[in-house]
Structure 1
Amino acid sequence: MTSSTAASWAAFTTAEPGLSATVEARFGAYTHHVLATLRKDGSPRTTGLEVRFLNGELWLGMMPGSLKALDLRRDPRFALQANPGGGTGMGGGDVRIGGRAVEVEDPATRAGYAQEVEPPEPFHLFRTELTEVVRTHVEDDAYLVVQVWQPGKPLRILRRA
């Protein structure tokens, strides 16, 4: 997350439609995922979280006053890990998203989100700005494949035997 360049979910989808569909499906396979934020002292905090893909954005909704929301208000950097599921199979691979979370206060935007998601009131709402998307999976039972997307750069694909 060292890059100063960030992109919306829609920009990622435009740049890499196949990868974005895989990533969204991976997050859609389960309800709860893992969000990493930074505490006041700089140490990591991991917590469970539901995510939503709506209107070309990846949204993070949180309960009022939650520690993860307070962390993001103080330092907007985050890492989001898709739930790996049970057992040893990870259909679609391992997926991680890094970026910055921007709190949304606009009443019309919040109302539109609430109409789609119906969160308990009140709630914190964050729109994400992506700095990196990574998918790791096994190909042909022989290769570990790592796909790395960052805004403004071509998709990097690394294969290891």
Structure 2
Amino acid sequence: MTTWSEVEAAAPELAAAVRACFERGKHKTMATLRADGSPRISGIENEFADGELTFGMMPGSVKLADVQRDPRVALHSPSVDPPEDPSAWPGEAKVAGRAVPGNGDAFTLDVSEVVLTRINAAGDRLVIESWRPGGQVRRVERT
């Protein structure tokens, strides 16, 4: 299992930027897989606590049923529209992995991927930084 503290140790700058994106708002989005394999998008709240990325789901919710059937999930930070100066956009973040049951209806994320998407300082390229367990931070720029 890859904990959030392991992400912070392996890719500290990326982890800090991703966490900042997630912490700029209360409501995030989570993708789960329905019984037929199609995706489901739901609202979610999360916390970074004790070296873990944690979240909970209401008993009887369809997203909980999805996770109990297939624990693969992806979480997306709150989105904000880019300002007139695109280089000032803080970007958006995604974290994927497996939901691991904790106490009650609480889950921690076994992290399999961390992604930060933003605009470069010149404002003319999309910058995508990603990390997977056992790897290095990968950076791609697109025009």
Partner in structure 2 of residue 152 of structure 1: 134
Residue 79 of structure 2 corresponds to residue 81 of structure 1: no
Matches within 5 A, 1:2-17: 6-17=1-12
Matches within 5 A, 1:101-112: 101-104=99-102, 110=103
Post-superposition offset of 1:92: 2.3
TM-score by length of 1: 0.81
Residue 113 of structure 2 corresponds to residue 132 of structure 1: yes
Post-superposition offset of 1:58: 0.2
Post-superposition offset of 1:88: 3.1
Partners of 1:129 and 1:43 lie apart in 2 by 22
| Secondary structure in 2 matching 1:154 | coil
Partners of 1:91 and 1:8 lie apart in 2 by 28
Structure 2: which 5+ residue stretches go unaligned?
A: none
TM-score by length of 2: 0.91
| Secondary structure in 2 matching 1:96 | strand
Q: What residue identity is the alignment partner of 1:153?
A: G
Structure 1: which 5+ residue stretches go unaligned?
A: 1-5, 105-109, 111-122
Number of corresponding residues:
138
Q: What residue identity is the alignment partner of 1:128?
A: L
Partners of 2:89 and 2:105 lie apart in 1 by 31
Post-superposition offset of 1:91: 3.7
Partners of 1:37 and 1:100 lie apart in 2 by 10
Post-superposition offset of 1:7: 1.3
Partner in structure 2 of residue 119 of structure 1: none
Post-superposition offset of 1:65: 1.4
| Secondary structure in 2 matching 1:71 | helix
Post-superposition offset of 1:63: 1.1
User: Kindly, what percent of the aligned residue pairs are identical?
Assistant: 40
Partner in structure 2 of residue 114 of structure 1: none
Q: What residue identity is the alignment partner of 1:99?
A: G
Partners of 1:47 and 1:146 lie apart in 2 by 24
Partner in structure 1 of residue 40 of structure 2: 45
Partners of 1:41 and 1:143 lie apart in 2 by 38
Cα-Cα RMSD: 1.4
Partner in structure 2 of residue 115 of structure 1: none
Residues 110-141 of structure 1 show CA distances to partners (whole Å, capped at 9, x for unaligned) of: 4xxxxxxxxxxxx5111100100111111021
